[in-house]
A and B are shown apart, each in its own frame.
Chain A
Amino acid sequence: MAGKFDLNDDSVVVIVGSGAGGGTLGTELALKGINTVILEAGGRYEMEDFVNDEWDSFTQLAWTDMRTTSGSWRVAKDFANLPAWIVKAVGGSTVHWAGASLRFQEHEFKTKTVYGDVKGANLLDWPLTLAELEPYYAKAESRMGVTRTNGIAGLPGSNNYKVFEAGAKKLGYTEVHTGRMAINSAPRDGRGSCQQIGFCFQGCKSGAKWSTLIAEIPKGEDTGKLEVRSNSHVVKIEHDAKGKVTGVVYADKAGNLQKQKARVVAVAGNSIETPRLLLNSASSLFPDGLANSSGQVGRNYMRHMTASVYGIFDRPVHMYRGTTMAGVISDEAKHNPARGFVGGYEFETLSLGLPFMAAFLNPGAWGRSFTSAIDAYENTAGMWIVGEDMPQESNRVTLHATEKDKLGMPVANVHFDDHPNDIAMRNHAWKQGQAVYDAIGATRTMPTPPYPSTHNLGTSRMSEKPKDGVVNKFGQTHDIPNLFISDGSQFTTGAAENPTLTIVTLALRQADTIADMMAKKTI
């Protein structure tokens, strides 16, 4: 039921989702004095509720509502109903993220120009430049307390990092450090410093890691201008005869449908739910779904070129002790087509606990090849690989023809095929990642396939021209002036870097835009 703001209050901004995009936007608007309601599909769990247990935490936090998959990606075979590993809770996937906060590179905003025509790829330049975003990147880094920015010291190197760094240096890599992390290396902003607990993916129990749950939303709520309504799952966006959005319909905790009126609606449900909601909101005026005159809603789904490498050594590593992501190698992040592909990738250390190693090391594998690797868990070091994948029109979130959720709404199907560029990049990255561990005497290295997607991007892309995409450079939909997209769905292309910092940056910029437009009464 309604809390602080009345369901019929049509002066509020309604935001769907409370993660990096929605949680930041809602807080920033409230700080500007704008009445805002965030509707979050999941429940609210605080620091003390989080559990240091991979499967129990997955049950507590993960988005496990029915989804389907298709396409040639391996996730569709191994995890047919779990295309993405993201969070359904207040704070969204900032509860789960590892904290890596790297800015995009200049060329990554103009891939069509720099990479040229790549067959089968739907490349497009962003209607934005790095220079335009720089002030907002700086604001986001300060707000999130990103290490190695604003005079904040880097985190200390863990065992997993030390192995990774030694291998990288032996191999000749030079851009190696403990990362730019939104994890406090010293107390800051009312939050303590990292206790090297591990379990960053399971919700930080010390509060050292930035999330909208603990570092943004409470500040917004303190203004009295922000209401976060949890267990409120938006099923439809409504509009008037002129095509302006007027509010949303959501199911409350009891499953009863409620209508919240709004002056502005911003959608930040992550890149699967956001297009699903736009498509499920089809009407006689917008028969193909809201903001979809381009036909691009749901298309160009990107998930980053990802993979992992695990290395086994003859002596203990204890990779699970300390932050999940403890360092980065950026030497391969540049665009260097001599390697046989466009774009670049980052190496970032990663550790999984024993239960998730068993589930993700090589899904479906059994027998001694598999179990001998698990037997060596204690002596294992791990890294994740994240690189730019090619946007393809056919990689797409669509509504399932027959499957419906418990509210009767069609579920999302996620179709994905690797582009040949993605495959070439992954093969290069596996080889280099294995070389990092081999360089310091690994007795065995393992090229591990992608996990269910944590970086979901591009399904409501930003474009200069309305025919090429869904939103303009401010995340405002081309078709409907008072409807915004505020999450990674906006990304025109994916870049090599983890997306959260850029999502927060865009949300801070969008908050200025929305406030300005509201003041000028253009929305």
Chain B
Amino acid sequence: MTDSRFGDGVSRRSFVKAASAAALVLTAKAVINPIEAWGMETKGLAPETVQALIQAARDIYPHDRVPDRFYAVAIKDYDVKAATDPKIKTLIEGGIAELNSAAKQAHGTDYVGVGWEEERVALLRKIEGTPFFKTLRGGLVTGLYNQKEVWPLFGYEGESASKGGYIKRGFDDITWI
């Protein structure tokens, strides 16, 4: 993911939807989050697909205190792989197309346009046995939760040996028991 700011060349006309917590802005080759101030240049997937993947990732593992950028990092690998691996590209583009078509049928909009999380989750439940869903969910287990930068949001401190362990840093500091 690049750290580029939301720039002048972006046309908001191409997309503004408020389905997710932070509305993403799409250009021909990028997904941009103006509120969190990051942009991700897409390589192998359509920006609309990346946007839907970010939303699906959040709907699979919803953490309201975790900003979109961590979900973007979690799914970025599929975009990178899709650039060189047609099988991955087909799997992901096909999976999102299927989700969009199910969303249109049920709600008259594409996946990211469905307003309630539980309605999007219902669409995901219908495809949870598919290779697309299994690949996406399985990858998120490490893609999302193994980001060192996300750990503090859950109160996990990570590596401790270089700090001398916890023997003087609270291994037994519980007071309410």
Tell me the chain A residues, 50-84 only, with Cβ under 8 Å from chain B.
51-55
A163: interface (CB < 8 Å)? yes
Contact B145 A366 (CB under 8 A): no
A194: interface (CB < 8 Å)? yes
**B139-177 near A? 1/0 per residue, CB < 8 Å:** 001101110000100111111111011110111111011
Contact A206 B165 (CB under 8 A): yes
Contact B177 A162 (CB under 8 A): yes
A315 CA to B173 CA, complexed, in Å: 12
Question: Which residues in A have their C-beta under 8 angstroms from that of B128?
Answer: 366
Contact B61 A196 (CB under 8 A): no
Question: Which residues in A have their C-beta under 8 angstroms from that of B60?
Answer: 366-367
A contacts with B: majority SS: loop
Q: How large is the interface on A (under 10, 10 to 19, 20 to 34, 35 or more residues)?
A: 35 or more
A393 CA to B169 CA, complexed, in Å: 49
Q: Which of B61, B65, B137, B161 has the most CB of A within 10 A?
A: B161
A366 CA to B111 CA, complexed, in Å: 18
Contact A354 B170 (CB under 8 A): no
Number of A-B contacts (CB under 8 A): 114
A162 to chain B, nearest CB (A): 5
Contact B155 A355 (CB under 8 A): no
Name the CB-closest residue of A to B145: A358
Q: How large is the interface on B (under 10, 10 to 19, 20 to 34, 35 or more residues)?
A: 35 or more
From B151, B159, B166, contact of A321 by CB (8 A): B166
Q: Which of B61, B157, B174 has the most CB of A within 10 A?
A: B174
Q: Which of B62, B155, B165, B171 has the most CB of A within 10 A?
A: B171
Contact A162 B164 (CB under 8 A): no
Contact A199 B161 (CB under 8 A): yes
**A305-326 near B? 1/0 per residue, CB < 8 Å:** 0000000000111101110000
B67 to chain A, nearest CB (A): 14
Contact A206 B161 (CB under 8 A): yes
Question: Which residues in B have their C-beta under 8 angstroms from that of A357?
Answer: 145
From A157, A316, A374, contact of B172 by CB (8 A): A157
Contact B145 A354 (CB under 8 A): yes
B contacts with A: majority SS: loop
A158: interface (CB < 8 Å)? yes
Question: Which residues in B have their C-beta under 8 angstroms from that of A375?
Answer: 63, 65, 154
**A245-277 near B? 1/0 per residue, CB < 8 Å:** 000000000000000000000000000000000
Contact A317 B174 (CB under 8 A): yes
B121: interface (CB < 8 Å)? yes
Question: Which residues in B have their C-beta under 8 angstroms from that of A198?
Answer: 160, 165-166
Residues on A facing B (Cβ under 8 Å): 51-55, 156-159, 162-163, 166, 194-199, 205-206, 315-318, 320-322, 353-355, 357-359, 364, 366-368, 370-371, 374-375, 377-378, 440
- Not counting A162-B174, A367-B62, A378-B156, a sample of 5 additional A-B residue pairs whose C-beta atoms are within 8 angstroms of each other reads A159-B174, A194-B165, A195-B164, A195-B166, A371-B62
What are 26 A-B contacts defined by CB distance under 8 Å?
A55-B146, A156-B171, A159-B170, A159-B171, A159-B174, A163-B177, A195-B166, A198-B166, A199-B161, A318-B170, A320-B156, A321-B171, A322-B171, A353-B156, A354-B154, A358-B145, A359-B145, A371-B61, A374-B61, A374-B145, A374-B154, A375-B63, A375-B65, A375-B154, A377-B154, A440-B177
